[in-house]
Chain A
Amino acid sequence: MARTSDAAGRLGWPLASFVLFFGLWELAGRWPVSAAFPPFSQTALGLWQMLADGSLGKAYWLTLQPLALGIVLCGLAGIGFGIGMGLSRGIEWLSLPVFIILQAAPMAAIIPLITYVYGIGLTSKVLAVVMLAAPVIVMNSYKGIRNTNPSLLQMCRSFQGTRRQEVVKIVLPHAAALIFAGLRLGLAMGFIGIVIAELLITPTGIGDLITYHSSVADYPKMFAAVASIIAVAALSLHALERLERRLFP
């Protein structure tokens, strides 16, 4: 009895939250403030229509490709580089200030520029993802390595562990949790990068859906497209977070 009410409680609050939010949206939409603000029901209908005619699916196919590619590239190179930064004082000295700046910097300003060199195709979009995601992936991997518990390192030395054993058996497993978190945050930045790229460079995928429906004043579909990308981002990040909690209790 207690377990079902517990589960109901865990589902209940998010559900209530959704109902409240969508309810408010519906009311706000019907308020004649702006013609461009559709109520929830119309937006949901627009979403359904785009799903049905395949435009949503095609859009995501185009959007998710550079995102996935960018994150994979970023992940491999970024984690490797972050580990290098963590293990080598020399690399740290050279790269740390750069990445600190990159993390705070509004990289979006540079995105239109890359189209001059790489055109408006897949490469530019992958680059946009990489540019935004790399700093956080590198910094997290770096911090994971640097913040190893010094007591564990001393313990390893007290048993005459070599430096290589120290790195492989203690530093890396310890850093794994932060590296994974870095990947998750990198994915969040990647979503941001691909959306900006698609809105600023030639629109394709979701960006195209948003700009097109905006230009033909089909606001329910436009809002639906925006809501869908936010939902996709939120769901995938949430899934990663749960995975992270299971892997690293």
Chain B
Amino acid sequence: MKGLLSLAVWFVVWEIVGRAGLSSIVPPFSSVIDAMFTVVPTGKFRAAALISLRSFGLGMGLAVALGIPLGILMARSKSVGRILGMWVNIFVSAPISALVPLLMAVVGVGETTVVVTVFLFAVFVITLDTQVGMRRADRSLLEMARAFGATRAQLYGKVLLLSALPEILAGLRLGAIRGVKGVVIGQLLVAIIGVGELFELYSNHFLMEEFWALVVIVFLFAFAVSEAIALLERRVEYYAASR
């Protein structure tokens, strides 16, 4: 709540700066909001949103499907952890956008490249956090479960994964944020599809209201996805501290 109030102050500042014409690239906040309502219903925006959401969904899906099992494997097997660990650590903070031209050269200029970009942006942090969460598992909890006759599947399903859930969710949240960045950057570099294309279009034609409207929409999307996962995180928070 307090945060919203503070943001409201900034929106007012934005409005004033826009009206005063202090910067050619900053239109008043109200006209940006207007533009949101005119842009969203258009066919062009819908097509762009669809493509972008599709790429995001596919890329994230792949990242989760590969990242979580990989993180589990790296935590379980020391040798796998040692071999892959170095690469995960390198790529989790590396400028992955440098790889996008590579992808464009090898895979082509299109949606596939964007999907792979999203995948690459998200997968490393998901893998890393999953691995960390699995490693933290409380030894005594595992011993207890084994003492009561848990099978390996039960050990994983009923104890380990739940114990690692806070970290896994944190990894998913960070991965989703990175995934959105991946869609935007991927599409900006590919420049012929999705919201990336729209950004190019608006900035090239100096349609600042539309540009910022799109920025706000994309930011809102990233924020919504992140908060949705954070909601899940809060639900497991109560046991995160006492592990």
Contact = CB atoms under 8 A, between A and B. Distances in A.
A and B touch in the complex (CB under 8 A): yes
Interface stretch (B140-148, B154-162, B216-224): B216-224
Contacts of A199: 97-98, 100-101, 189
Nearest to A21: B87
Contacts of B7: 97-98
Interface residues of A, number: 51
Nearest to B9: A94
Contacts of A223: 102
Interface string B78-113: 000011101100110111111111101111000000
Contacts of B10: 98
Contacts, number: 134
Given A104-B177, A117-B23, A191 B95 contact: yes
Interface in B180-220: 180-181, 183-185, 188-189, 195, 199-200, 203, 206, 211, 214-215, 218-219
Contacts of B42: none
A112 interface: yes
Interface string B2-26: 1110110110000000000001110
Contacts of B218: 105-106, 109
B31 interface: no
A233 B93 contact: yes
A237 interface: yes
Q: Which of B2, B7, B185: most chain A Cβ within 10 A?
A: B185
A113 B223 CA distance: 22
B71 to A, nearest CB: 17
B203 A112 contact: yes
Nearest to B198: A109
Contacts of A237: 93
A206 B98 CA distance: 9
B199 A112 contact: yes
Interface in B220-237: 222-223, 226
B2 A93 contact: yes
A122 B135 CA distance: 45
Contacts of B84: 17
Given A97-B6, A106-B218, A117 B25 contact: yes
A233 to B, nearest CB: 5
Given A116-B203, A226-B101, A94 B6 contact: yes
Nearest to B206: A116
B122 to A, nearest CB: 13
Given A222-B102, A222-B105, A196 B97 contact: yes
A233 B105 CA distance: 22
Contacts of A100: 3
A211 interface: yes
Contact of A17 (B9, B86, B101, B199): B86
Given A93-B6, A98-B7, A112 B101 contact: no
Interface in A191-249: 191-192, 194-196, 199-200, 206, 210-211, 214, 219, 222-223, 226, 229-230, 233-234, 237
Interface in B1-55: 2-4, 6-7, 9-10, 23-25
A60 interface: no
Interface string B168-183: 0000000001001101
A117 to B, nearest CB: 6
A207 to B, nearest CB: 8
A104 B222 contact: yes
A144 to B, nearest CB: 19
Contact of A37 (B100, B106, B199): B106
B86 A110 contact: no
Nearest to B225: A104
Contacts of A13: 82-83, 86
Given A17-B83, A116-B25, A188 B106 contact: no
Contact of A96 (B6, B101, B219): B6
A188 B96 CA distance: 11
18 contacts: A13-B82, A16-B83, A17-B82, A34-B106, A34-B107, A37-B106, A97-B7, A100-B3, A106-B181, A106-B184, A106-B222, A108-B188, A192-B97, A199-B100, A222-B105, A230-B94, A230-B95, A233-B95
Can you list the 5 inter-chain pairs with the closest CB atoms, starting with the nearest? A188-B93, A97-B3, A106-B184, A195-B95, A36-B105
Given A17-B87, A97-B3, 11 more contacts: A34-B106, A96-B3, A104-B222, A105-B222, A106-B184, A112-B199, A192-B95, A199-B101, A200-B189, A223-B102, A230-B98
